[in-house]
Amino acid sequence: MSTQASSLTNTTIGKKMVMAVSGLVLFGFVIGHMLGNLQVFLGPDAINGYSHTLHATPVLIWGARSVLLVAIVAHATTAISLARLNRAARPVAYAVKKDIATDYAAKTMFWSGLTIALYIAYHLAHLTFGMTKGLGYQHLPFDANGLPDVYHNLVQSFRVPWCTALYVVAQGALSMHLYHGAWSLFQTLGVNHKRYNETLRSSAVAVAMAVCVGFLAVPLAVLFGVVK
């Protein structure tokens, strides 16, 4: 038994736990990223200074990047392996099948995840690597104080309608993904109890929605000229 027992991740439940733990890491990152973005309301110095602090501390930025990279790779590869397994488990589809308990978010986890993955690739190219050719503005690596000019790049990007449109679509996918995932991960990790299940589920949904609102606040602020 010892050879079998040493491989939790070989079981479907173990694979789901990989999804849950890596998902939790990415969820944590998303909250951090949102709080970072919201500093745009404190003005250019705050957000540019924040970016500078991150970049000036290699342990911080490269530590975070390595953890995120591991989490993304684990999340994506396990998702693909589970999706294949689930597809193979029902070779002949139902002609008529009604859903009773599940919802759109739960059924489209793979596709919302894929949408987010594609957006991340574009997002890195756009802002991290500064590829802004054809967007009608100049990507500025640094501001007048020599700090990374996050503020300028962010505000200019949100003035490009299709950049904002892509951002909104990605946020839609992200909130749907979290709507199911933020609750689901607790059930998968066995953190459940009859007495707290309702609270756990509604808090997970509330946090997911808060993330959505937090991220969408920035382009709205640019649109209405609150942030210039």
Task: Please give the residue ranges that form the binding site for another protein (CB under 8 A).
Answer: 1-6, 8, 11-17, 82, 85-86, 88-102, 106-107, 109, 180, 183-184, 186-194, 197
DSSP code per residue over 99-154: -SS--HHHHTHHHHHHHHHHHHHHHIIIIIS---TTSSS---SB-TTSSB-HHHHH
Rounded (5°) CA angle 33-66-215: 10
Place of tokens 């609102």: 213
Residue with Cβ nearer another protein (86 or 145): 86
Using alpha carbons, list the distances in angstroms from residue 122 to 22, 111, 115, 149, 172.
22, 17, 11, 19, 16
Residue with Cβ nearer another protein (102 or 128): 102
Residue with Cβ nearer another protein (48 or 175): 175
Residue with Cβ nearer another protein (95 or 144): 95
Say if CB 143 and CB 44 are below 8 A apart: yes
Place of tokens 């759109």: 104
Residue with Cβ nearer another protein (23 or 219): 23
Please state the closest distance from residue 208 (CB atom) to another protein, in A.
15
Please state the closest distance from residue 80 (CB atom) to another protein, in A.
12
Please state the closest distance from residue 30 (CB atom) to another protein, in A.
20
Please state the closest distance from residue 180 (CB atom) to another protein, in A.
8
Nearest residue to 204 (alpha-carbon basis) of 219, 187, 190 = 187
Please state the closest distance from residue 192 (CB atom) to another protein, in A.
4
